[in-house]
Amino acid sequence: MRIFNIEFQKQPIMRTVVYCLIPAFIGSIFFFGWVTVAILAISVVSCVITEWLFVRKSTGKVTEAVFVTAFLYAMTLPPTIPFYMVAVGAVFAITFGKMAFGGFGGNVFNPAIAGRAFVYITFPVQMTSVWVPAANFSDFPAGFAAWRFAAAGDYLSSITSATPAIAFKDGATSLPSYWQLFLGNINGQYEKLGETIFIGGGSLGEMSALLLMIGGIYLVYKKIANWRLVVGFFATFIVFQTILFLLLPGKISDPLLGLLAGSAILGGFYMVTDPVSAARTNIGRFIYAGLIAVMTIIIKYFSLFAGGLTFGILLGNMFGPIIDYAIKSFQSSKKAKKA
């Protein structure tokens, strides 16, 4: 396949992952407006050009996996982020998250998450302090008819807002229902110490659990996403958060709120299951995914960082090869004793 004189290496599996992200991305247009298309376009162009600059004198082919990185990276960004920051993070994702390790198949870290972490740390205000209203279904056609969805007056007015997950962490006494979180229909107000604060949207891929699950379940069904990684992540997430919720009910949310109000669904189906950076032994996949779930919850609730999943995945990426090595060594030792 060739686009604008750039040749792409065919990778049908990676193409399917992109297709599965499309429902959630269309949802992000509805919730936030067509500015989300611009964010994705900048991410795609930046990622493709960066990889092409690295491979133009060797293979000359850009892998289709670059589109997965571009999509996932864009889905982790808020709709208010300046465009140049999108490009900076995309270039970092491909350069230091992928090509620095030799290109596709050699990277230790998930490139999209590496790019997101870089932008998160470098531009913390734009990534964590500016939350905006998102459309409700009653606002139809909402973002489909606007560059940026406007609610409660000017889109960038001085409304104090937060995502549902941050609202809980800040001590909110009222939050959207589980059904609203599942669909993405979360706009509303909540009370905190007598103050009324507006709940808005977070990143492009944090809105509708339903739209993310449609593509994610299909990936598992087609065996593109390994079911052990998915089960390991979500099972550990639910069990560990339930334990902490029972021990610290005021500090830790219930597991269903933890799953629906944030990026756990996006991460569990699309990022933890990255076949290159994940563990590759069957037992190791359960351990690897469980480790990410535990670290995500700990960082999210016990640190200053709201992006628990980002750092949880990066830590999991670091331990993935060690987990596989330990399991293979144990299995070899066991076979040797039997022999």
Domain co-membership, 22 together with 88? yes
**CA 94, CA 100: separation in Å to the nearest integer?**
8
pLDDT, greater one: 288 or 303 = 288
Cis ω before 141 (30° cut-off from 0) = yes
Q: What is the pLDDT of residue 155?
A: 44
Q: Is 235 inside a domain boundary?
A: yes
CB-neighbour burial class of residue 12 (10 A; exposed 0-12, middle 13-18, buried 19+) = exposed
Domain co-membership, 43 together with 155? no
To the nearest whole number, what is the mean pLDDT of the chain?
A: 86
Q: Is 218 inside a domain boundary?
A: no
Helix axes 83-97, 111-122, angle to 10 degrees: 130
> pLDDT digit string (tens) for 126-159?
887 666 777 777 778 888 988 887 654 444 444 4
Domain co-membership, 20 together with 96? yes
Considering Cα of 216, then 220, then 221, then 222, what sign does the dihedral take? positive
Could you tell me if residue 121 is left (phi over 0), alpha (psi between -120 and 50 degrees) or otherwise beta? alpha
Is residue 7 very low, low, confident or very high in pLDDT (cuts 50, 70, 90)? Answer: confident
Q: Is 304 inside a domain boundary?
A: yes
Q: What is the pLDDT of residue 172?
A: 65
Instruction: Output the pTM of the full model.
Output: 0.91
Q: What is the pLDDT of residue 196?
A: 63
β-sheet bridge partners, residue 6: 3
The CA angle 67-73-74, to the nearest 5 degrees, is: 90
**CA 183, CA 196: separation in Å to the nearest integer?**
23
Domain co-membership, 179 together with 257? no
Cβ atoms 152, 133 nearer than 8 A: yes
- Mean predicted confidence (pLDDT) in 305-310: 80
Q: What is the pLDDT of residue 127?
A: 82
Helix axes 83-97, 65-75, angle to 10 degrees: 130
Looking at the 3D structure of the chain, how many domains does it have? Answer: 3
Domain co-membership, 189 together with 271? no
Is residue 227 over pLDDT 70? yes
Domain co-membership, 173 together with 73? no
Enclosing domain of residue 268: 225-338
Q: Is 58 inside a domain boundary?
A: yes
Domain co-membership, 241 together with 191? no
Helix (H, G, I), strand (E, B) or coil at 77: coil
Q: Is 216 inside a domain boundary?
A: no
Domain co-membership, 194 together with 242? no
Record the tokens describing residue 146, joined without a space.
Answer: 């606007």
Is residue 229 over pLDDT 90? yes
Sheet with strand 161-162: strands edge to edge: 161-162, 195-199, 188-192
> pLDDT digit string (tens) for 147-198?
887 654 444 444 445 677 776 666 666 677 788 888 888 766 665 556 666 6
Q: Which of residues 162, 184, 199 is at a domain's end?
A: 199
Q: Is 214 inside a domain boundary?
A: no
Length of the chain, please? 339
Q: What is the pLDDT of residue 190?
A: 60
Q: Is 259 inside a domain boundary?
A: yes
Domain co-membership, 120 together with 16? yes
Q: Is 215 inside a domain boundary?
A: no
Cβ atoms 27, 184 nearer than 8 A: yes
Is residue 24 very low, low, confident or very high in pLDDT (cuts 50, 70, 90)? Answer: very high
> pLDDT digit string (tens) for 58-93?
877 899 999 999 999 999 998 889 999 999 999 999
Domain co-membership, 193 together with 232? no
Helix axes 227-247, 209-221, angle to 10 degrees: 140
Domain co-membership, 123 together with 14? yes
Is residue 108 over pLDDT 60? yes
Instruction: Kindly report which listed range (44-48, 184-188, 232-236, 295-299) carries the lowest average pLDDT score.
Output: 184-188
Q: Which of residues 182, 199, 216 is at a domain's end?
A: 199
The most confident of 85-94, 115-124, 255-264, by mean pLDDT:
85-94
Q: What is the pLDDT of residue 330?
A: 86
- Quickly list DSSP for 94-142: HHHHTGGGTSTTT-SS-HHHHHHHHHHHHSHHHHHT--B----GGGTTG
> pLDDT digit string (tens) for 265-299?
999 999 999 999 999 999 999 999 999 999 999 99
Tell me the percentage of the chain whose pLDDT exceeds 70: 85
> pLDDT digit string (tens) for 310-333?
999 999 999 999 999 999 998 888
Is residue 13 over pLDDT 70? yes
Domain co-membership, 6 together with 116? yes
